[in-house]
Homo-oligomer: A and B are copies of this chain.
């Protein structure tokens, strides 16, 4: 999936900012691509970027209307359809993070065809992938892994992209989830791929590259999550990760959505190396990223110092304290 940039951000008439979480994430990480927003009457979200008509957006170079909002029930509200059709008529592609496929709505499918515009459903994939090969490919790859789902794997990979680029690395974030796909303009929602093709899809997401190029691959789930560990393992094998960062949320008491206990950081490091060696014998951890949002600063610093000492790895909260320590470790471990 390759989404044409820049974007006109469609916010519809969502009742709160949480419903537009994806749109905020895209604007945070790709402000240059978010040229303007398109809001309907009653919209309670505001990205703080210019409100543009579709014609103005096209004039300013926008290529795609991005539906980075959710609706209660995951469906497409009837009264958004005309807006989407009008965007297609104005010359924009449309990319959506909704559960419903854009092409399943006749008026939208027809308008897209009539005007030769592309429809992208980032939750789904129409791409057919080969099965994973496992053969070593050039380029360097880092994967963010987790003690659980939703512990900052995407954020950490994006923060590393920013931090490494600032330090002169040739580095690209590689998306494996829907918000990530909008942010990178390319990628695949790996949990939506047919099971046989998980690692093959990752080989496509992060292909062979120049020897010193870094792909920073967004992880998914956890090897210890009873619902999603298969996705995490296929992702690890497909990534052929040279390096990995363990992401952790210290206040969580059990795995998200199930009754299983949380693994320790040490267990995640051990099993990631154990399994990752299959496609990259030299895989190694280069850092720990902890979401310390729920902790006071003193507590957070103490917890990070403890993690550093326990695992011999730089530990940081990427949001609060940046990723310099991890970038230092990467620079030291993998000289150009």
Q: Which residues of A contact B (CB under 8 A)?
A: 131-135, 190-196, 198-200, 223-224, 226-235, 237, 255, 257-260, 271, 274-275, 278-279
Set of chain B residues within 8 Å of A132, measured between Cβ atoms: 226-228, 258
Contacts of A135 in B (CB 8 A): 258-259
Look across to chain B and name the residue whose beta carbon is closest to the beta carbon of A190. B195
For the complex, give the distance between the alpha carbons of A278 and B258 in Å: 12
Chain B neighbourhood of A255, CB < 8 A: 134
* Chain B residues positioned under 8 Å from A278 (CB to CB): 224, 226, 229, 260
**What copy number does this chain have within its complex?**
2
> Do A195 and B191 touch across chains, with their CB atoms under 8 A apart?
yes
The complex places the Cα of A224 from the Cα of B199 at a distance, in Å, of: 13
A191 surroundings in chain B (CB, below 8 A): 194-196
Q: Report yes or no: A134 in contact with B226, Cβ–Cβ below 8 A.
A: yes
Interface contact B224-A234, CB-CB below 8 Å: no
- Inside 8 A of A275's CB, which chain B residues have their CB? 223, 229, 271
Contact among B133, B237, B279 for A230, CB-based, below 8 A:
B237
The 6 sampled A-B contact pairs (Cβ below 8 Å) are A195-B231, A199-B230, A226-B278, A230-B230, A230-B237, A271-B274
Closest B residue to A200 by beta carbon equals: B227
Return the 4 tightest CB-CB contacts between A and B, nearest first. A134-B226, A230-B234, A191-B196, A230-B230
Asked if B227 contacts A258 (CB within 8 A), the reply is no
Q: How far is the CB of A144 from chain B (nearest CB, A)?
A: 17
A229-B278, A230-B230, A271-B274 known; 9 new pairs, CB 8 Å cut-off, are A132-B226, A133-B259, A134-B258, A192-B196, A194-B194, A195-B234, A196-B231, A230-B234, A231-B234
A230 touches B227 (CB 8 A): no
Contacts of A223 in B (CB 8 A): 233, 275
| Minimal beta-carbon separation of A150 from chain B (angstroms) | 14
Q: Are A233 and B229 in contact (CB under 8 A)?
A: yes
Do B199 and A226 touch (CB < 8 A)? yes
- A227 contacts which of B131, B194, B229 (Cβ < 8 Å)? B131
Whether the Cβ atoms of B195 and A279 lie closer than 8 Å is no
Report the Cα distance A164→B257, complex, angstroms: 37
